[in-house]
Amino acid sequence: MKIKHEHIRMAMNAWARPDGEKVPAAGITQAYFELGMTFPELYDDSHPEALARNTQKIFRWIEKDTPDAVEKIQALLPAIEKAMPPFAGGQNAQPQFSLFSGAGGDAGATGERR
């Protein structure tokens, strides 16, 4: 099943929110080269401005809905999935907490739900 571009955009923006766009771009770029990917073209660490340029490219493609941008993000999806932490909606995402545990919730000594 193909993941919709708008859903990738939402997950990427959530991932970038706490620490900025360079954090996901760095992880995606690392995964891209580890996976031996060549399309879409990203800069490797030998370029002095690799992180800034890759960040600009990736987030430009994320924000656009053009067929070219969608194609590039779909091609990057293996690297995005490999790099994305669970909290941002990756494959192994788990809830960070639960308001109630068990079917009816646990009641503490005071009768409050935990």
CATH number of domain containing 19? 1.10.3600.10
The stretches of the chain forming alpha helices (DSSP H) are 5-16, 22-34, 50-63, 67-83
What whole-number percentage of the chain has pLDDT above 70? 75
Q: Return the pLDDT at 87.
A: 63
Count of structural domains, the chain: 1
Q: Considering the entire predicted model, what is its pTM? A: 0.74
**35-90 tens-digit pLDDT:** 999 999 999 999 999 999 999 999 999 999 999 999 999 999 999 999 998 864 44
| Cα gap 26→101, rounded to integer Å | 37
Residue 114 pLDDT > 70: no
In a domain, 82, yes or no: yes
In a domain, 43, yes or no: yes
Range of the domain at 11: 5-86
Average pLDDT, the chain: 82
Q: Return the pLDDT at 15.
A: 94
